A and B are shown apart, each in its own frame.
Chain A
Amino acid sequence: MSEAAIAPPKRPFAPVQWVRQNLFNTWYNTVLTLVVGYLVVTSAGPLLNWVLFGATFTGESPSDCVGDGACWLFINQRLNFFIYGFYPDELQWRVDIMFALLAMVFIPQFIERFPARRWLGLFGLIGLPIAGYILIPGGLFGLEAVPTNKWGGLMLTLILAYVGILASLPIGILLALGRRSEMPIIRGLCVVFIEVWRAVPLITVLFMASVMLPLFLPEGMNFEKLLRALIGITLWQSAYMAEVVRGGLQAIPRGQYEAASALGLGYWKKMGLIVLPQALKLVIPGIVNTFIALFKDTTLVLIIGLFDVLGTVQSTITDPAWQNVAIEGYVFVAFCFWIFCFGMSRYSQNLERKLDTGHRT
């Protein structure tokens, strides 16, 4: 029976009744409500005052921040640095195009009825990286080259996350297939790879990428710091991705594999056409969760000296020109990350509900 059939009839909305049922239904709930309610009400005033009423939004220099609230002027003044890092001012239109493309690809994904959502999604997977590869480093088609040590801020955060996500998904799928393979040696290699990467912290991986990778490579061959960080992040992330995908593969009933074999499909066709589409659909929440985790973990690159958005803010608040703006800076970065992460998690819940074919009820 469906949920709707057994649900009680809807009651008209009655505020007094709602309050009594949800806030004062037992004596201990009454006490809790009163105590917690008091705390919330008394802290809301000062908080609002700090964020809004007592805050400074306009002005020129730190001396304009005289109110007893936050100094948002600081964010305003340094916004360019927080978004683009050291990217040359006159070339920032290239990054802006990428931001616009990113918004064009991802905002429609939240709107149910938007036409050509799929094509936009496909563009996000293939077109966007190509456009980014041409636009951001430059050097092709007469565009002025910008070395990676000038990249920074939110732009670098997004590049790290996007490349990490895009590269780790296929590697992760291959590793998961390898771990489920019937060939013992391939399976063993994949198990060792996955378990070792998953057991070590990302910081040690980044350290290794920045300190040891040059030692591993043949003489004369070297990557720049950003690329080394990206290699480390991708390898680490693909191990997590592999475990998520493996979960999906295990959930596909044997019958599906056998039916595919009975149709005469070879291994790759069987996996690519029958098993993986079902498995990946099952584990979308898990995949998005690892994306969110990766997005947050990109902040760690500041430890090996890359200036992501947290790195730019951190370097600015230790600048003697601005004092006591640490909280404002952290609130700004927290807000940036929160928007992206919360958006991703909502999107995955949305997708999960939409793709749910209802086998569980």
Chain B
Amino acid sequence: MNEQTLPLKPSRSKPWNDPRVRALFFQLIAIAAVFWGGWALIDNTLANMESRGISTGFGFLDQSAGFGIIMSLIPYDATYSYGRTFWVGLLNTLLVSGMGIVAATILGFLIGVARLSSNWLIAKLALAYVEILRNIPLLLQIFFWYFAVLRNLPSPRQSVDIGGLFFLNNRGFYMPEPLAQPGFGVVTAAIVVAIVAVVIIKRWAKKRQLATGQVFPTVKVGLAVLIGVPVLAYLAAGGPLQWEIPELKGFNFGGGITLIPELAALWVALSLYTASFIAEIVRSGIMAVSKGQTEAAQALGLRSGLTLRLVVIPQAMRVIIPPLTSQYLNLVKNSSLATAIGYPDLVAVFMGTTLNQTGQAVEVVAMTMGVYLTISLLISLFMNIYNRAVALKER
């Protein structure tokens, strides 16, 4: 036998071939690059600001703003501070986003279900809606509703009159406003009581069903309680609510709730546009539930309404929730297009007028982006919690 052995050599690889050493090296370079870049950025910015005579810091927030805003949910006029303009803009953004999310969700679910309708005409119309609306830029749709539709409505004197209560003209949409009279607290209390009662009934019904198998008509009874109790309280208290109906005074309407055209156009466009995306999400969610589930439910003798409510929709929601969350986020971000038609949202009021007047670009942009960052993170946090609750639990 050949007893020759290989010469023993320490099999040490070169340090740059060791993945750990390499990883460390690359990361050190990355950190150095980021720090160098950040330092250069700050240095440049400070130098540029100094040479242009821009002061730093958030002191400008206490100065008087001196400009008016066409719509605010909190008291505001030109004497208030720039800090106040931030809140006015933020609330306006939240208002239109909230209104948009509600309308887009309802419309999106309706159209998504219509896409799957057995009625050929309805299904094709829903398809046309989705394919047209989602392939046209949102900004164009906002312009269309604002400049082509709402601007061309008649003047206040010739406004479209709906039952003498609602009025539509080129200054906006006017609705009756409920004014709470003394004694309305009873009705509010009744609403709270009704909600608590419904929760208790639902728990009790579930317990009873688990114990005896008997189904309690929770939805019908719940609705009856939810509507009946407040109505009874309202009548018992002597109708403590007055409606202020908008009236034509001089050249424009007064009283009631006014939806300014900027808000109306933005709301309509955001809702219609986002609904086309939500419709597709809903459709794919429902289609993802295998047909066997429906058939099995029917074989058990469930009626079609119950099949949908107890079997199909809960499973479809798992597929629907995550993309729906992104659509809500998109809607909130897209509401910033308000600035193009002059609806006073955060971007228009704060990043537009305030920034122009104060020149505090860094602070203003940072605050605005911070708000959107916070909203985005909050929405995804809540939706993730909800998503975890409905997600498929597997062993």
Interface status of B179 (Cβ within 8 A of chain A): no
Which B residues touch A200, using CB under 8 A? 333, 369, 372-373, 376
Q: Mark B30-44, 1 if CB is under 8 A from A, else 0.
A: 110010000011001
Chain B residues contacting A333 (CB-CB under 8 Å) are 137, 140
Contact: B119 with A211, CB < 8 Å? no
The answer to whether A217 touches B44 (Cβ under 8 A) is yes
Interface stretch, picked from A130-138, A147-155, A202-210, A274-282, is A202-210
Contacts of A22 in B (CB 8 A): 118-120
Flag if B351 contacts A207 (CB, 8 Å): yes
**Do B132 and A338 touch (CB < 8 A)?**
yes
Q: Mark A176-219, 1 if CB is under 8 A from B, else 0.
A: 00000011111001000000101111111001100110111111
Instruction: Assess whether B140 is in contact with A330, with CB atoms less than 8 Å apart.
Output: yes
Interface size class of B (residues with CB under 8 A): 35 or more
A317 engages B147 (CB within 8 Å)? yes
CB distance from B244 to the nearest CB of A (A): 34
**In the complex, what residue of chain B is closest to A325 when comparing beta carbons?**
B148
* Chain B nearest CB, measured from A219 CB (Å): 7
Please choose the segment from B45-53, B83-91, B216-224, B245-253 that sits at the chain A interface, where 4 or more of its residues have CB less than 8 A away.
B45-53
B295 cross-chain contacts in A, Cβ below 8 A: none
Q: Which of A30-38, A46-54, A56-64 lies on the face that meets chain B?
A: A30-38
Chain A contacts for B144, CB-based, 8 A = 326-327, 330, 334
Whether the pair B30, A299 counts as a contact (CB closer than 8 A) is no
Of the listed stretches B62-70, B160-168, B334-342, chain A binds B334-342
Whether B26 contacts A186 by the Cβ 8 Å rule is yes
B229 at the interface (CB under 8 A from A): no
Residues of A within 8 A of B340 (CB): 302-303
Asked whether B288 is an interface residue with its Cβ less than 8 Å from the other chain, the reply is: no
- Min distance, Cβ B356 to any Cβ of chain A, angstroms: 9
Total A-B pairs, Cβ < 8 A = 149
- CB-CB under 8 A from B337, the residues of chain A are 203, 300
Decide yes or no: A29 and B119 within 8 Å by CB, A183-B26, A314-B143, A345-B135 being known contacts.
yes
- Nearest-neighbor residue (CB-CB) of A211 within chain B: B361
Contact partners of A327 in chain B: CB under 8 A: 144, 148
Complex: how many Å from CA A70 to CA B159? 25
Secondary structure of the A contact surface, majority rule: helix
| CB-based contact B365/A330 at 8 Å | no
Contacts of B189 in A (CB 8 A): none
B355 at the interface (CB under 8 A from A): yes
> What's the least CB distance linking A325 to chain B, in Å?
10
CB distance from B69 to the nearest CB of A (A): 18
Total residues of chain A contacting the partner, CB 8 A: 55
| Among candidates A32, A186, A300, A326, residue contacting B139 with C-beta atoms closer than 8 Å | A300
- Give B154 Cβ to nearest chain A Cβ, in Å: 14
Contact in complex: B365, A207 (CB < 8 Å): yes
Contact (Cβ within 8 A) B372 A36: no
Is B302 interfacial (CB 8 A cutoff)? no
Asked if residues B347 and A337 are in contact (CB atoms below 8 Å), the reply is no
1/0 per residue, CB under 8 A from A, across B113-141: the answer is 00001111110010000011011111110
* Interface pair B347/A25, CB less than 8 Å apart: no
- Is B23 positioned at the interface, with any CB of A under 8 Å from its CB? yes
* In the complex, chain B residues whose CB is within 8 Å of the CB of A186: 26-27, 30
Q: Does B362 sit within 8 A of A, measured CB to CB?
A: yes
Q: Which residue of B lies closest to A345 (CB)?
A: B135
User: Chain B contact residues: over half helix, strand or loop, or mixed?
Assistant: helix
- A341, B134: Cα distance in complex, Å: 9
- Shortest Cβ distance from A90 into chain B, in angstroms? 31
Query: A324-343 vs B: 1/0 string, CB under 8 Å?
Result: 10110010011001100110
A16: min CB distance to chain B, Å: 14
Per-residue contact bits, chain B 359-385, to A (CB 8 Å; 1 contact, 0 not): 001100100110011001100000000
Interface residue A40 (Cβ < 8 Å from any Cβ of B): yes
Q: Is the CB of A338 within 8 A of B135?
A: yes
Q: Is the CB of A23 within 8 A of B119?
A: yes
Return the chain A residue nearest B149 by Cβ.
Answer: A327
Instruction: Given A215-B361, A219-B47, decide whether A310 and B137 contact each other with a Cβ distance below 8 A.
Output: yes
**B132 contacts which chain A residues (CB < 8 A)?**
338
Q: Once bound together, how far apart are the Cα atoms of A314 and B148, in whole Å?
A: 11
Given A36-B121, A204-B351, decide whether A297 and B137 contact each other with a Cβ distance below 8 A.
Answer: yes
Residues of B within 8 A of A25 (CB): 118-119
A201 to B333, CA, bound (A): 5
* Contacting pair A183 B372 (CB below 8 A): no
Please determine whether A218 and B26 come into contact, CB atoms closer than 8 angstroms: no
CA A263 to CA B135, docked complex, whole Å: 45
CA–CA, A288 to B119, complex, Å?
Answer: 31
Residues of A within 8 A of B135 (CB): 292, 296, 337-338, 341-342, 345
A340 CB to nearest chain B CB (Å): 8
A51 CB to nearest B CB, Å: 14
Are the C-beta atoms of A199 and B372 separated by less than 8 Å? yes
Q: Please, which residues of chain A bring their CB within 8 A of the CB of B136?
A: 296, 334, 337-338, 341
Measured in the bound complex, the distance between the Cα atoms of B19 and A329 in whole Å is 60
Q: A28: nearest residue on chain B (CB-CB)?
A: B119
Q: Are A211 and B339 in contact (CB under 8 A)?
A: no
Closest Cβ neighbor of B359 among chain A residues: A211
- Residues in chain A near residue B117, CB distance under 8 A: 29
Measured between beta carbons, the chain A residues less than 8 angstroms from B31 are 185
| CA distance in complex: A29, B47 (Å) | 71
Residues of A within 8 A of B49 (CB): 215
A182 to B24, CA, bound (A): 11
Whether B140 contacts A337 by the Cβ 8 Å rule is yes
Q: If the complex has contacts A29-B119, A216-B45, A326-B147, are A337 and B30 also in contact, measured as CB distance less than 8 A?
A: no
Task: Kindly state the separation between the CA atoms of A310 and B121 in the bound complex, as whole angstroms.
Answer: 33
Given A22-B120, A40-B125, A310-B140; A201-B347 close (CB under 8 Å):
yes
CB distance from A86 to the nearest CB of B (A): 21
User: A222 CA to B134 CA in the complex, in Å?
Assistant: 37
Q: Which 10 A-B pairs have the closest CB atoms?
A: A199-B376, A22-B120, A341-B135, A201-B333, A296-B137, A201-B336, A185-B27, A326-B148, A299-B137, A299-B139
Given contacts A334-B136, A345-B135, 15 further A-B contacts (CB under 8 A): A22-B118, A189-B30, A200-B333, A207-B355, A211-B365, A296-B135, A296-B136, A300-B337, A327-B144, A330-B143, A334-B140, A334-B144, A338-B132, A338-B135, A341-B135
